[in-house]
Amino acid sequence: MKNFLMVLFLSSCAYVHHHQVGELRTPAGHVMRKFEVLVSENGFSVQEAGAAAKAALRNHNGEAAERFAAILSLFQMGPRTGNPVWSSEKYADGVFEKLYEKCPSGQITGLSSTREMNKYPVVSGEIVKLTGYCLLKKTNTVRKKI
Amino acid sequence: MKIIFFVLLTILFSSCAQVRSVSQTSIPTKRDKLVKAEVKKNIFFLFNFSTDYLAQINTQLRKKCPKGNIEGILTKDVMIVYFPVIYHQDYVTAEGFCVE
């Protein structure tokens, strides 16, 4: 129970793993519209699951569950950011198309990329976030909208 | 005595800042005006509920170079641990050249 409470206690919400700021251009005759693109996948912490299982099961195979988690975690060795995800890493591949959806002109500036994690006990949200500015030509219609 | 020596040695050699990531964009030929933006987030007991503070970097950079382009941006993402588990700070800086 103590381990389980520790897991809960030490869980926080938002972790930043990486942040990168891109070049900022402000060409004349354009206005900048801010946009955000976000893709995410569910992550799973085997270690926390093992600790939680041990605490919940106590004498009923709790140790075995923890050992199983330890063996499973051997398959997830190596440097990484956040937790391993359910499926593959392909969830991040869609950001390119999403950028064009947000800014069809393709004139993007100030593109910042953030790799972050929303963490909860055992599970997590593994997030890739891109924010930037879409450059729009200054017209009367655009001025009114912005 | 040995323990005190060991503790002092540990304090002397232990560090509290961790560089999580560094990135650099293409550096321009005109490098007269350097602009810098930084954001800090104090986090207690590892509880942090938002990463929106990162968006302020772009706003700060735009304010410092309103009529030009900012190129050659070096972004540093650092975590400084003041008291383990109790208090740490996320510290992100971005500095680049304002090309007008």
pLDDT, tens digit, for every residue of B55-83? 899 999 989 998 888 999 999 999 888 88
In a 13 Å sphere around the CA of A111, the CA atoms on its Cβ side amount to 17
pLDDT, tens digit, for every residue of A29-59? 888 899 999 988 888 888 788 888 777 777 6
Residue B2 lies in a domain: no
Please tell me the predicted confidence (pLDDT) of residue B7: 77
A10 dihedral zone (left: phi>0; alpha: psi -120 to 50; beta): alpha
- Cβ distance A131 to B70 less than 8 Å, yes or no, reads no
Residues of chain A falling short of pLDDT 50? none
Residue B9 lies in a domain: no
Spatial separation of the C-alpha atoms in residues A6 and A111, rounded to whole Å: 38
**CB nearest A19 (choices: B21, B26, B68):** B21
Residue B10 lies in a domain: no
Residue B49 lies in a domain: yes
User: Residue B80 contacts by C-beta under 8 Å, 6 or more apart in sequence?
Assistant: B16, B17, B18, B88, B89, B91
Please tell me the predicted confidence (pLDDT) of residue A92: 83
How many folded domains does chain B comprise?
A: 1
- Cβ distance B69 to A24 less than 8 Å, yes or no, reads yes
Which residues constitute the domain of residue B72? Answer: 16-99
How distant is the Cα of A5 from the closest Cα of chain B, in angstroms? 14
- Cβ distance B96 to A19 less than 8 Å, yes or no, reads no
**CB nearest B67 (choices: A18, A26, A110):** A26
pLDDT, tens digit, for every residue of B44-60? 988 888 888 998 999 99
Spatial separation of the C-alpha atoms in residues B19 and B80, rounded to whole Å: 9
Q: What number is the ipTM of this complex?
A: 0.73
Residue B91 lies in a domain: yes
Residue B4 lies in a domain: no
- Cβ distance A26 to B69 less than 8 Å, yes or no, reads yes
Residue B1 lies in a domain: no
* Contact indicator for A144, A61 with CB cutoff of 8 Å: no
Whether the CB of A8 is below 8 Å from some CB of chain B: the reply is no
* 3-state secondary structure (DSSP) of residue B29: coil
Please tell me the predicted confidence (pLDDT) of residue A9: 54
Please tell me the predicted confidence (pLDDT) of residue A113: 92
User: Among B21, B38, B51, B79, which would you mutate to test the A interface (most chain A Cβ atoms within 10 Å of its Cβ)?
Assistant: B51
